[in-house]
Amino acid sequence: MTEAPHIFHNPRCSKSRQTLELLQQKGIEPEIIRYLETPPTEQELLHILDLLGCQPRDIMRTKEPEYREQALDNENLSSEALVEAMVRTPKLIERPIVVANGKAVIGRPPENVLTIIE
């Protein structure tokens, strides 16, 4: 590995804690980004989406009240509008996301991270 992996982490989320623990069990100390406190910029989120090979809606937490409150279920919203919503309201971003070795994966289940670190 050339640089330490990054984990977009919410310590209150069990899957996020399990993913971090799995990385640490493998001897990897990732850079922990508490994305609720330090949300990614639009550019960072677009880069993550590119690495994931996903569209913005694919990584949105659609069951969060903020999703409905901001009418983000409107199919006519552009990708740019969805990214802006996630930057403005990072609680909407699925977690955890691990970036390593020029790849990214959502740690649901936590074992997904093994595909990009081994």
Mean pLDDT of the chain: 95
The answer to whether 13 is a known catalytic residue is yes
Judge contact between 2 and 96, C-beta under 8 A: no
Q: Does the domain at residues 6-117 carry the CATH identifier 3.40.50.970?
A: no
**Domains in the chain: boundaries:** 6-117
Kindly name the residue from 3, 12, 13, 112 that is annotated as catalytic.
13
Distance from C-alpha of 87 to C-alpha of 12, rounded to nearest angstrom: 19
Bond from prior residue into 30 cis (ω within 30 degrees of 0)? no
Q: What is the pLDDT of residues 23-55, one digit of tens each?
A: 999 999 999 999 999 999 999 999 999 999 999
Q: At what angle do helices 42-52 and 79-88 cross, to 10 degrees?
A: 120
Q: What is the pLDDT of residues 97-107, one digit of tens each?
A: 999 999 999 99
Give kind and range of the element (H or E) at residue 88: helix 79-88
